Amino acid sequence: KYTAYQTLAREASKPDATPQLKSFWENLNELSETQAGGSMYTVYIGTMKDGTQKAVKVLVPNAISFIRENTESARKVAEGLLETKNYGNSDGVKLASVLIDDLENWLIEDIRATNYEQDDLEFTKLNGGFSNEEGAEIQIPAMTPTGTMFIKIEDWKEGENLSRVLQAPPNTDLQRSVRLIRDDFYRQLETPTENGTALVHSDVHMGNVRIAQQGDGSLNVYWLDRGYFLHFNQDEIGVLS
């Protein structure tokens, strides 16, 4: 957490820091303990002086070096397998050798890209408020523009992650939320933006969907962790459709 505070202070004090990031830092009361994390980002809840809460993702130090070291190790494993009798002609290993390079480039692009902020505005416009006839609605937590690859901030939303909901016995709420998630994901694949490409959440898994039941019985379904988007052109949209 100390490193997260250091990163926030450094980025907010830069001359080209966004006004929103400066305001966030000036009005931050405290960061929680780690809520989630991996090899690239650590997630905290930031509680502001007015009591509102934000989800704060802070880049792990040396994340790019970590990715390069691990993908290089994977390359050496693939190269070694191709030299063996059992795997020398394996199409799977040959394909893996190619995909390792793609994976490395994709992960580093994910870290370095800052155009996700503009993409997120477009994604929100296309998907926020999408609903079905069963009383469930897609909501996109508001993103705070930071202009830096080191910090990503969005509104914190209370609710249950889909992974936790699935541990409970099947019920109407679960079925409604899953159907809406399915419908909206296909909608992302098939709905072009103004520039003609489809904009798709790149990290769809159960932990990145949160479900909150409202007082009137309706459901809000939140897409979380939208730091990187896939772009599909018209030909790709045609194939997927």
Tens of pLDDT, residue by residue, the chain (241 residues):
999 999 999 999 999 999 999 999 999 999 999 998 877 899 999 999 999 999 999 999 889 999 999 999 999 998 898 888 888 888 888 888 889 999 999 889 888 887 889 999 999 999 999 998 888 899 999 999 999 999 999 999 998 887 776 676 666 677 778 889 989 999 998 888 888 899 999 888 888 899 998 888 788 999 998 878 889 998 888 887 7
DSSP code per residue over 75-116: HHHHHHHHTSTTTTT-HHHHHHHHHHHHHHHHHHHHHH--TH
Give the pLDDT score at 64: 92
Of 227, 201, 203, nearest to 149 (Cα)? 227
Helix, strand or coil, per DSSP, at residue 127: helix
Tokens of 53: 């809460």
The two beta strands, 219-223 and 136-139, are parallel
Q: Are 240 and 200 in contact (CB under 8 A)?
A: no
Residues with Cβ within 8 Å of residue 161, at least 6 apart in sequence: 206, 207, 209, 210, 211
Task: Tell me 192's DSSP state.
Answer: B
For 107, phi then psi, to 5°, come to -65, -40
Q: Are 149 and 114 in contact (CB under 8 A)?
A: yes
Task: Give tens-digit pLDDT for 140-150.
Answer: 999 999 999 99
Q: Are 173 and 159 in contact (CB under 8 A)?
A: no
Q: What is the pTM of this model?
A: 0.84
